[in-house]
Structure 1
Amino acid sequence: MKWILLPILFVTLAVSGTALAQPSPTETVKKTVDDVIKIVSDKELKKPQNEKRRRQEIKRAIGTVFDSAEMAQRAMARHWRDRNAAEKKEFVDLFENLLENSYAGKIESYNQEKVVYLKEAIDGDYAEVRSKIVTARRDEYSLDYRLMLKGGKWVVYDIVIEGVSLVSNYRTQFNKIITNQGYAELVKKLRSKNKEISMP
């Protein structure tokens, strides 16, 4: 996975809230891109004394990006059915915090990269929005969004960066830990990681 793309990834992922008329998946993604960029570009929010507020705004925006429960379940794959209700809730919370806390700082390094929307494909309640990122040096990277229709709005359940699925990447890591060390060890590692990268 090309981690250098993550600042751009999370700037361009936010999914809009309620709307009177359901926008297309591309419109949904594109609409909120401006809102997120506004946060990271706000001169007032960039001031050191506003760091906590800025991070809270970023976290709020990131929180609207993902269907965390869907992503967590897909990342756990076959191990999900072995968890009880309390474990599932805890894992979703840990996974959501991991995503939010891991990339809040990276979002702030957004540097006017250009997002070009290429193609949209809808198949029932599922959709894919294909795009590319163009940097100031004119380097280009593919960034595709996988969305599903839930509760009357499109939400992102996976992102594919240069052909690598974010959910699949986590699934591989989680499966290896659970298989070799057990589920309890995965939870321990997630708690430790979240504490290490917790937001101010």
Structure 2
Amino acid sequence: MKWFALPILFITLALGGPVFAQGSPTQTVKKTVDEVVRIVSDKEMKKPQNEKKRRQELKKAIGAVFDYGEMAQRAMARNWRDRSAAEKKEFVSLFETLLENSYADKIESYNQEKIVYLNERIEGEYAEVRSKVVTAKRDEYSLDYRLMNKGGRWMAYDVVIEGVSLVSNYRGQFNKIITNEGYPALLKKLRSKRAEIKAP
């Protein structure tokens, strides 16, 4: 998985490409990404004393388009149905924290990467936005967004970098831990990770 690409998951859609109809999957993501770019580009927000506020605003902006519940369920796959309602609620919270904080530093390292939109495909309640990212060194790689329509809103449930699905990547990791050590072991690892993140 090309984790160096993750900063661009949330920020490059604002940098160019063809104009899509208002309310389309691309336009929906772009609106959120514009807000993320505004936050990471704000000189006042960049100050160390504003880190907590900056992270809170990034969390709010990113959460507006990423459906963490759907992503968590897909990452758990067949293991999801065995969980109780309380377990599902906790897992979604842990998964959300893992994603948000894993990429916070990377998002803030935004460096004017550019994107070229290739196409947008909609099939019923599902959609995919295909794009190509170009770095300052002119390296290129594919970056695709998978979305679904929930209550009239397009929400992202997966991103695919160079053909590798973010959700599938986590699914493989989670399933391996559950198979070899059990679900409690996975929870322990995720809780430990959350504790590290919240530690001063």
TM (norm. structure 2) is 0.92
Runs (5+) with no aligned partner, structure 2: 15-20
The equivalent of 2:166 in structure 1 is: 166
Q: Does 1:138 align with 2:138?
A: yes
Query: What's 1:83 paired with?
Result: 83
The CA deviation at 1:10 is 2.8
Letter in 2 for 1:96: E
Counterpart of 2:27? Answer: 27
Q: How does 1:28-177 map to 2 (within 5 A)?
A: 28-177=28-177
The alpha-carbon distance between structure 1 residues 4 and 184, as it changes in their structure 2 partners (threshold 3 A), is same
Residue pair 2:13, 2:29 contacting (<8 A) in 1 also: yes
Name the CA distance, whole Å, in 1 between partners of 2:13 and 2:176: 28
Alignment-derived partner of residue 190 in structure 1: 190
CA contact (8 A) 2:11 2:107 kept: yes
- In the alignment, the residues of structure 1 paired with residue 69 and residue 34 of structure 2 have an alpha-carbon distance, to the nearest angstrom, of 25
Residue 58 of structure 1, CA deviation: 1.1
Report SS of the residue matched to 1:155: strand
Q: Kindly state the Cα deviation for residue 11 of structure 1 after the two structures are TM-superposed.
A: 2.3
Provide the alpha-carbon RMSD of the alignment. 1.8
Letter in 2 for 1:166: L
Query: How high is the sequence identity, in percent, across the aligned residues?
Result: 79
8 Å Cα contact 1:125/1:149 also seen in 2 = yes
Q: Is the 8 A contact 1:22 1:153 kept in 2?
A: no
| 3-state SS, counterpart of residue 73 of structure 2 | helix
How many pairs align?
A: 194
AA paired with 1:57? Answer: E
Instruction: With the length of structure 1 as denominator, give the TM-score of the two structures.
Output: 0.92
Gaps of 5+ in 1: 15-20
8 A Cα contact 1:7 1:107, kept in partner: yes
Q: Cα distance, 1:2 vs. partner?
A: 0.4
* 1:142-196 deviations in Å (ceiling 9; x for gaps): 1000000001110000000110000000000000000000000000000111221
